């Protein structure tokens, strides 16, 4: 229920963006995306966290690239590895433009996902992908800005817990603007199509 409400908020945001801009960009010819068009959104503007190499990161660091941000955790059994594998497939589909795609994984489990664990996890998919982490307080602030849901679910032992969390991806154009919300399960081809549109817009 919580995750469904989060998705409704994102969809509602996309509708309001267009509704308030009927005399502007929405009345012009717009890019057609396979995901949810959130162009002009006032949320999810930055990811002020630290990557697995110890470097502070912001969306502006990846100017010139399409950035795809996904929230998850390394011990996730299905959704997270599937999403990251699809992102790796998207990079391959882009061919020579693969270097213009930046994958970002934000852990919602900072307790267990240390920089070393995150670096090893990214290596399973693509060495160019970065995993970001922060303090519980920093994570909470970023999650609120991105309108994502996450919650610790206790297991049989203190360390065997799981994390319930939102499962979509946020796609930024090469100018660092949030443009698309990609729902989990949409598939690599749909995401690749949207990435190509954004690269073409930027003259790629």
Is residue 21 predicted with pLDDT exceeding 60? no
Which residues are within 8 A (CB) of 67 and not within 5 positions of it... i.e. 6 or more apart?
59, 102, 104, 171, 172, 176
Contact 165, 71 (CB under 8 A): yes
Q: What is the pLDDT of residue 159?
A: 85
**Torsion on CA atoms 140, 194, 3, 130, rounded to nearest 10:** -40
For residues 47-57, give the mean pLDDT. Answer: 98
Q: Which of 2-16, 24-38, 45-59, 122-136 has the lowest mean pLDDT?
A: 2-16
Tell me the pLDDT of the chain averaged across its residues: 89
> What domain count does the chain have?
1
Q: How far apart are CA 119 and CA 56, in angstroms?
A: 15
* Phi, psi dihedral angles at 61 (to 5 degrees): -65, -20
What is the distance, to the nearest Å, from the Cα of residue 203 to the centroid of all Cα atoms in its chain? 23
Terminal alpha carbon distance of the chain: 40
For residues 109-120, give the mean pLDDT. Answer: 96
Q: Could you tell me the CATH number of the domain that includes residue 24? A: 3.40.30.10
Contact 132, 50 (CB under 8 A): yes
Q: How many CB atoms lie within 10 A of CB 20?
A: 11
- 98, exposed or middle or buried, with CB in 10 Å at 0-12, 13-18, 19+? middle
For residues 151-166, give the mean pLDDT. Answer: 91
Is residue 147 predicted with pLDDT exceeding 80? yes
DSSP 77-124: SSHHHHHHHHHHHHHHHTGGGGGGEEEEEEES-TTT--HHHHHHHHHT
Enclosing domain of residue 35:
2-201
Q: How many CB atoms lie within 10 A of CB 135?
A: 11
Beta bridge mates, 152: 163
For residues 135-148, give the mean pLDDT. Answer: 96
């Amino acid at each position: 229920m919580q995750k469904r409400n989060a998705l409704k908020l994102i969809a509602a945001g996309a509708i309001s963006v267009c509704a308030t801009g009927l005399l502007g960009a929405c009345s012009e010819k717009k890019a057609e995306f396979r995901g949810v068009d959130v162009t002009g959104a006032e949320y999810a503007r930055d990811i002020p966290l630290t990557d697995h190499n110890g470097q502070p990161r912001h969306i502006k660091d990846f100017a010139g690239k399409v950035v795809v941000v996904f929230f998850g955790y390394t011990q996730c059994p299905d959704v997270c590895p599937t999403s990251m594998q699809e992102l790796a497939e998207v990079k391959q589909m882009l061919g020579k433009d693969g270097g213009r795609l930046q994958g970002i994984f934000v852990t919602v489990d900072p307790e267990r996902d240390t920089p070393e664990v995150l670096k090893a996890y990214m290596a399973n998919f693509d060495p160019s992908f970065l995993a970001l982490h922060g303090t519980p307080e920093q994570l909470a602030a970023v999650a609120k800005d991105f309108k994502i849901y996450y919650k610790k679910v206790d297991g049989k032992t203190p360390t065997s817990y799981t994390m319930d969390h939102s499962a979509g991806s946020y796609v930024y154009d090469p100018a660092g603007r949030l443009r698309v919300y990609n729902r989990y399960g949409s598939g690599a081809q749909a995401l690749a199509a949207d990435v190509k549109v954004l690269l073409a817009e930027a003259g790629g």
